[in-house]
Structure 1
Amino acid sequence: MRTIKIKSVLAVSAAALVAGSGLVLTAAPASAASKCGADQKKTFSPPGRANTFVTARTCVQSDGTMKRGWVEISWTGRAGAKFDDFIVTARLERNDAERGYAYCPITPDVNGSSSGSYTCDPLPVRTSQAGGWTGDGKIIYDYNDDGKGDFTWDLKGSPKLS
């Protein structure tokens, strides 16, 4: 009980000090609002090579007038030359119209490590427009030496920020 009484006295004394000093206290700025979609999983099966298991999710954030959308991925699987290309793209969108974009080629990372993670993050966009913001993206991949070219894994966008 004594500790509570001392804290109360200190709080009242601090408030009186501030009031007597002419300082004006303001509330701290609101924290950033962000939303991420559910984890999306895919097993990549390069011909003649070990599988790579990838988890991805799309996210969006609004911090006052700064908006950003990004894609987070992680992977596991035996390292080796499995991909000619492994590229993550991330988009910041407002009502499905692209407002920011990032192109993140990470082929050496995925081929060179049995596990890892990466965030593909476009530069933030400054705007006062509110509502309808989402993060979206895709993964473009080409299996090593299969002769079939690029494939695309379209990710589901994040939930909207109002």
Structure 2
Amino acid sequence: MILTTLAASLTVAVVSLVPASPAAADNGQRCNENVQSKTFALPGKPDVVHHVMLCFRSFDDGKADARSLNYWDFEDLVPPVAGVRFDAYSIEVTIERRDTETSADQVMSRWTCDLKAYVNGPRPANLPNEVCWTPWISYSWQGHWSADAKITYDINNDGKGSATWNITGTPLW
């Protein structure tokens, strides 16, 4: 129930947080069917849960973009725990194209957002979402399009170094 409500909220937020260009009419978007979540066990600090929804969007004016909507559950809302949770935390969002449904992906656009300050900083009781989106690219109806993402993180003081969480891509468009 909670994840269903979160998915509905994230879908609305993805559509409304970043407006289309004035000349562009939103032609449609493809998002992951489910919000993807990962719990990070932090040494000596409360756990953090990161929820991600990934979308690919096309416009009638021949442009497209991809975005990830990120939401966190922090167990230490009030009072916040002092100290660094992550030594690194970023999300890379890509737009990919295939000539056929079974051919290899070609990366058409790649954008990285550094979220380290956000996940380490103080947060208000009503946590905002953080959106990472690619710049618009020229889009054609030829081929099959999708968005992918990966999160690269390094948990402070866990001794494991950098790790990657691959986010399941959107359905092909």
User: Is TM (by shorter chain) over 0.5?
Assistant: yes
Picking from 28, 31, 35, the partner of 1:33 is 28
Secondary structure in 1 aligned to 2:128?
Answer: strand
Equivalent residue for 2:6? Answer: none
Residues 36 and 86 (structure 1), Cα distance of their counterparts in 2 relative to 1, 3 Å cut: same
Q: Which protein is bigger by CA-based radius of gyration? A: 1
Moved over 3 A (4+): 113-116
Asked if the contact 1:93–1:99 (Cα under 8 Å) also holds between the matched residues in 2, the reply is yes
Offset at 1:131?
3.9
**In 1: Cα distance, 2:110 partner to 2:154 partner:** 21
Over aligned residues, Cα RMSD in angstroms? 1.7
Mark the runs of 5 or more structure 2 residues left unpaired by the alignment. 1-23, 99-104
Count of residue pairs brought into register by the alignment: 133
Asked if the contact 1:71–1:89 (Cα under 8 Å) also holds between the matched residues in 2, the reply is no
**In 2: Cα distance, 1:127 partner to 1:31 partner:** 13
Report Cα offsets for 1:24-65 as digits up to 9, x if no partner: xxxxx8642101102001111111111001100111011131
Equivalent residue for 1:99? Answer: 108
Report Cα offsets for 1:110-149 as digits up to 9, x if no partner: 1114433211111111133434111110111101122321
**In 1: Cα distance, 2:112 partner to 2:38 partner:** 20
Report Cα offsets for 1:69-108 as digits up to 9, x if no partner: 1211110212441111111110011122111111111111
Equivalent residue for 2:128? Answer: 116
Q: With structure 2 as the length reference, what TM-score do the two structures score?
A: 0.71
Q: With structure 1 as the length reference, what TM-score do the two structures score?
A: 0.75
Equivalent residue for 1:76? Answer: 73
Equivalent residue for 1:18? Answer: none
Picking from 45, 51, 54, the partner of 2:50 is 54
Equivalent residue for 2:169? Answer: 157
Residues 46 and 62 (structure 1), Cα distance of their counterparts in 2 relative to 1, 3 Å cut: same
**In 1: Cα distance, 2:163 partner to 2:40 partner:** 11
Code of the aligned partner of 2:130: Y
